[in-house]
Structure 1
C-alpha cells in the first residue's frame, strides 16, 4: 500500500518502511508524528484530502542539509558576494498507513 502525503508545502509518495527527508518538523528523535494531510491512498483520491487516512511516522533524525552556495559577481566592477545556506530537515521513517474502513466501504 502506498500513499501521497503533503508536508512542508511539498508532496511525497510513500509506502511502509520508507525513509523520507522533509522540511523541519517539531519534535525529538524517536517521537511519533501522525500526518493527516493524505492526498491519495492506493485506489482512493482525496478532494483535497482523504478523510480518515493517517500516515504514522517516526522521527529518525533532525539535521541540516549540505551547504548551498549562492555566488554573485558583477563583471568589471571588482564586486562579488558569496552566501551559504544550510536547510534544516527531519528524516522520517514511515511506520504504517492507516485508513478508516467505514469511510472507504461507503465509497465503493
Structure 2
C-alpha cells in the first residue's frame, strides 16, 4: 500500500512505516501531523486517484527530527581575472515517519 501526497510544491510517494525528509515544518518533535492533499492511494489491486485530491484521504505522520543538511558549497571562479567567490548554504529539513494511510473505501478491500 502506498500513497502520493503533496507538501508545498513537492510530491512524495510513501508507504506505512517509511521515514522521509521534507522541507522544514514548524511543529515540535514527537507531535503528529496530518496531510490532506493526497493525490493517489494504491492498495493491492485497488487504485484511488484524486481530482485533484482524494476526498477523505489522509496521511498521518509523526515528527521524528528537525535538523540541517550538510553544507553545499557554491564556488564561482574566472581564470586570469582575480575573481573568486565562495558561498555556502545549509537547508533545514524535518524527518517524518509515516504512521498510517487512510482513504475512503480502503477498509472494505
TM-score higher than 0.5: yes
> Conserved in 2, the CA contact under 8 Å of 1:8 and 1:22?
no
> How far 1:76 sits from its partner (Å)?
1.1
Of the structure 1 ranges 93-102 and 32-41, higher mean CA displacement relative to structure 2 is found in 93-102
Count of aligned positions: 104
Aligned pair partner of 1:83 in 63, 80, 87: 87
Q: Look up the match of 2:77.
A: 73
Aligned to 1:49: 53
CA contact (8 A) 1:53 1:100 kept: yes
What's the offset of the Cα at 1:99? 1.4
- Report the Cα distance in structure 2 between the residues aligned to 1:81 and 1:58, rounded to whole angstroms: 41
CA distance in 2, matches of 1:3, 1:21: 16
Name the counterpart of 2:5: 5
TM-score normalised by length of structure 1: 0.90
Ranges of 4+ aligned residues in structure 1 off by more than 6 Å? none
Greater shift, 1-10 or 11-20, is seen at 1-10
The answer for unaligned runs of 5 or more in structure 1 is none
Q: CA deviation at 1:101?
A: 3.3
Q: Is the helix fraction higher in 1 or 2? A: 1
Q: TM-score, normalised by structure 2?
A: 0.89
Partner in structure 1 of residue 100 of structure 2? 96
